[in-house]
Chains A and B, each alone.
Chain A
Amino acid sequence: MIRTRGLTKDFVVSRHETVHAVRGIDLDVEAGELVAVLGPNGAGKTTTMRMLTTLLAPTSGTAHVAGHDVTTAPHRVRAAIGYVGQGNGAASVQQVRDELVLQGRVHGLDRRAAEYRADELLEALDLAPLARRKVDSLSGGQRRRLDVALGLVQAPPLLFLDEPSTGLDPHNRANLWEHVLRLRTRSAESSGPPTTIVLTTHYLDEADTMAERVVVVDHGEVIADDTADALKADLAGDHVALQAAPEHLAVLAQIAERDAGTREVAVDVTADHDGAGDAGPDRLSTGVVSVRSTDGTRAVPGLLRAADAAGVDVLGVQVSRPTLDDVFLALTGRSLRETALDPSSGRTPDLTKEVAR
């Protein structure tokens, strides 16, 4: 469905400065895949997407989208793809249904077919009561659903979504995805493979839960490409945090080192997880041994038995599954969250966060 080879894009900022926004991307996407392109702001996600959707001409390299070359046959690419950009696709002075009908007409449907399709999509995206409303009277979530409807008018085999849920609250994000995924499966029931979807996002959880495949982009290059689970298992591993008294930490760390699944061990003596205000002299301060393990849940019983045998009192255990942020951290040494606009989904327990840094 998509095939790029050595795709690059340079932006000439001034006579002395050229930004290499995309530095040679080779990407293959098969029909029916749901691929998330993940990366920090400025990584080249959107630039890549704009080249694939014919909005930008590549500086070098080739890209075939839906069977056509974006440089030599942009018209055919445009006819074949649906595109939901970062902005709002429907003009604010227009009425909702009019924009959908126009989109269908532009894609070659006659008036009746375009109207039928518009009504079908309004119904599917819960926009039917808004058909006669002016676009600028819609809420953010409604506008975004309308954008998706516009991208789906000609039932394209391939849909591009550029940061589809940016700016939406969690409820509206979930709602948008529910609609997108339902329409995708519906297209699968009626005709062959499900709609191929390529989306960019900087919401980690979105890439994690929605995409079947995650392509991690940084500095204009693909630095990882696999399922989210495989990326996490290969690159990050689970976090196991073992709490113990400070004098036991060294021994505990040695025990952790010996476990077969262990990849990395760090000791944090200063971690203090007591409640505030309790500053009595006999207060028990604790430290944490944090272990990066291939399979944390399986490692824990062995670690506890070994600790017990060594006379180490383990005061608490926490196992956290890695996030895509851990993957990015493992790949680049930087956290995606530092660059992302979105404070994370909050699925990672605080303890793990502290330990991981």
Chain B
Amino acid sequence: MSHTTVAGPPRVPVAPATTPSRAGRFWGDTGLVLVRELRPLVRDPFSMLFGLVQPLFFLALFGPLLVSSLGGTDALGGDVWLWFVPSILVMSTLFGTTGTGSNLQMELVSGSHERLLVTPMSRSAMLVGRALKEVVPVVVQALVVVLVMLPFGLRPDPLGVVLTLGQLAVLGVGIGGFSYALALAVRKQEWMFWVVQQTVIFPLMLLSGMLLPLDGGPAWMRTVSYADPLRYVVDAARELFAGDLASPAVLWGWVAALLTAAAGLAVGVRTMERARA
């Protein structure tokens, strides 16, 4: 049907007094989403500790086995905590941020996401604000692990810890972006979310050399591990904890974290913009 002019309903003044630019709208909305996502965490900070249960079990029950099964700490560079605590930090980042899409899933089901879709809020901001929020639980959880381990003899380089937290935060934003994209992609079959999440985290974890050194593994495994961004972040964190801040591994860690963040945000934003109810 042709429809060139619409002599229809009276025009209603709708635009607010000041219409922000596209970019202004995006950053303003990102801030609004970020603050909204952080509020429940700030009001109930202990909720962030639940995410630490699994990583702490690995620390307490897997750590001791590690030393004995490797016949000492030689393969770990001499100090088991400087080798294994960075692993646990990356692990808690991985567990927490891959699951964060479930928060969006709840809002998809309840209708609160839909309510925001029928507002002028920027779609990209809905994703980016949520992903940026991941920084807080990631950093808080990592700090708690480090503090808990100090009485057990962990002696990391302080500046190295700070830089590690930064790298984990960047990594977490990226993984968060992927997790939200997953939640949107499987919103018609919610149960798929945890199936995919579980399927993805274990290969990522084992191929990163997080739990056991890859040096003794088969050649194909070592080759595949180069495709695992976590591998670089784990390696970088170990160098940073040991105080070798200028190691090339640290640089590779930043590259991996930043690439993950860029890719996660890009995929997340794209999925959010394309997702129609």
Contact = CB atoms under 8 A, between A and B. Distances in A.
Interface of A: 1-3, 5-6, 28-31, 50, 53-57, 61-62, 64, 66-69, 75-76, 78-81, 83, 85-95, 98-99, 102-103, 105-109, 147, 150, 157-158
A234 to B, nearest CB: 27
B29 A56 contact: no
Given A3-B8, A66-B12, A91 B119 contact: no
Given A64-B8, A106-B29, A56 B118 contact: no
A54 B118 contact: yes
A95 B36 CA distance: 10
B121 interface: yes
Given A64-B6, A85-B114, A89-B115, A78 B276 contact: no
Contacts of A61: 1
Given A87-B111, A105-B32, A81 B118 contact: yes
- Chief secondary structure at chain B's binding surface: loop
A108 B16 contact: yes
Interface residues of B, number: 37
B71 interface: no
13 contacts: A6-B1, A28-B8, A31-B10, A56-B276, A57-B276, A66-B9, A66-B12, A83-B118, A93-B40, A106-B119, A107-B120, A147-B115, A157-B12
A98 B10 contact: no
Nearest to B17: A108
Given A87-B115, A106-B119, 14 more contacts: A1-B10, A1-B12, A30-B9, A54-B117, A78-B120, A85-B114, A85-B118, A87-B112, A89-B111, A92-B112, A93-B103, A102-B32, A108-B120, A157-B14
A67 B120 contact: no
Main secondary structure of the interface of A (DSSP, over half): mixed
Contact of A106 (B18, B107, B116): B116
B116 to A, nearest CB: 7
A5 B111 contact: no
Contacts of B36: 94, 98, 102
A31 B9 contact: yes
Contacts of B117: 54-55
B11 interface: yes
Task: Give the 3 A-B CB pairs with smallest separation, nearest first.
Answer: A87-B111, A108-B16, A89-B115
A128 B126 CA distance: 28
Interface string B1-41: 10100101111101111111000000001001000100110
A3 B277 contact: no
A80 B114 contact: no
B110 A92 contact: yes
Interface string B78-113: 000000000000000000000000010011011110
